[in-house]
Amino acid sequence: MTLAGFSIDGFLIALVAVVGAAIVWPEVGATGGPLAMNVVASYGVAVIFFLYGLTLVPEKLRQGAANWRVHVVVQLATFVLFPVITLALIATAGSLVPTDVALGFFLVGALPSTVSSSVAMTSLARGNVPTAIFNATLSSLIGVFATPLLMAWYAAATNMAMPVLPVLVKVIGLVLVPIGVGQIARHWLAPWAQRHIRAIRLADRAIILAIVFNSFADSMVEGVWSGHDATLLASITVGVCVLFFTVYGLLTLPCRWLGFDRGDTIACLFCGSKKSLATGLPMAKLMFGASPALGLIIAPIMLYHFIQLVVVSMIATRHARSDGVPTAQQESDPP
């Protein structure tokens, strides 16, 4: 589906449909419901990261490893600049934003960059694709540890209960181990995975949709959304827009100061300004799965995902046209 020259992935439409289903039929997707969505969502986290490890190609990482200045800027933007800007936005909003939504905003700031959409958009804009592959993948691997540690710090700073050790044990067991197993399985399954990459992506997205369905259904059953109206969604939308454009704008400064060429600048801006829904939802499920407010917590990353795809698609299309290259429909995130 296209709109004004950029592509809207069917996954976005599916996300909206799943949230709508959770609102209309919350008992179906809630924990203990007939579809056992909580079981699918819980064990699906390990499946998501196994598939990530299975499809991770180490050879592509090595191609972009030498461009260290871009890597430093992107990783600092992802795990330092983003949390700082997010904290500033939360402090500015104050009591206007519910505590769980503020937690969700900081989750956005603490997450790694995307992989597939960063690479796809960098390719569309004629940027440095090997550098984008390296940065997006490195960011995901760093995020396995950085994201829960940042969230634990935020929880402690705001007097929220989040035991660090159990979370890290879950992350190791359901994230790091499956990635490692997936990498080992590549020795035997790499050709199969390449042939069935579309089916793998569909399976990955189906699990993410199950997490969304279960999270919003539980929130509806517990009445978490009953005290909020459309103004909250509008506030979250404004917040994620401000966050995206602030980080994107600030990232142009080191690109200019360090003299990055056009290809490196595109890779830096696209990788450094994006956040991964594919990592964010499973991580949120691991860290806050017992909270009935999980639907509120994941709302900011879902809206940020939509905004970043729309805006970066437009920017990438403009870059491609200015380079004299015909645009083509690109595949969007996740995973």
Strands of 38-153, DSSP E? none
In order along its 335 residues, the chain shows pLDDT tens digits of 444 444 456 777 888 898 888 888 888 888 788 887 877 877 888 888 898 888 888 777 777 778 899 999 999 999 999 999 999 999 998 878 888 899 999 999 999 998 877 888 888 888 898 898 888 889 988 998 899 999 989 988 888 777 667 777 888 888 889 989 999 999 999 999 989 988 998 888 888 888 888 888 888 887 766 666 678 888 999 999 999 999 999 999 999 999 999 999 999 999 999 999 888 888 888 888 777 788 889 899 989 998 888 888 888 888 777 765 544 444 444 44
The amino acid present at 118, given as its one-letter code, is S
Going by C-alpha positions, the residue among 69, 37, 28, 58 that lies closest to residue 268 is 69
Alpha-helix residue ranges (DSSP H) falling in 56-81: 58-63, 68-76
Alpha-carbon span 240 to 306, nearest angstrom: 10
Residue type, 222: E
pLDDT at 9: 63
Q: Looking at residue 69, what is its pLDDT?
A: 93
Expressed in percent and rounded to 5, the helix, strand and coil fractions of the chain are: 80, 0, 20
Residue 257, exposed/middle/buried by CB under 10 A (0-12, 13-18, 19+)? Answer: exposed
Place of tokens 């900011």: 300
* Cα–Cα distance measured from residue 297 to residue 280, given in angstroms and rounded to the nearest whole number: 10
Q: pTM for this one?
A: 0.84
In the three-class reduction of DSSP (H, G, I as helix; E, B as strand; rest coil), residue 2 is classed as strand
Which residues lie closer than 8 Å to 323 by C-beta, 6 or more apart? 125, 126
Q: Which helix (H) or strand (E) holds 116?
A: helix 116-124
Domain boundaries, the chain: 2-319
**CATH T-level assignment (fold) for domain 2-319:** Na+/H+ antiporter like fold (1.20.1530)
User: In this predicted structure, what is the pLDDT of residue 3?
Assistant: 40
Q: Would you say the C-alpha torsion 313, 135, 84, 212 has a positive or negative sign?
A: positive
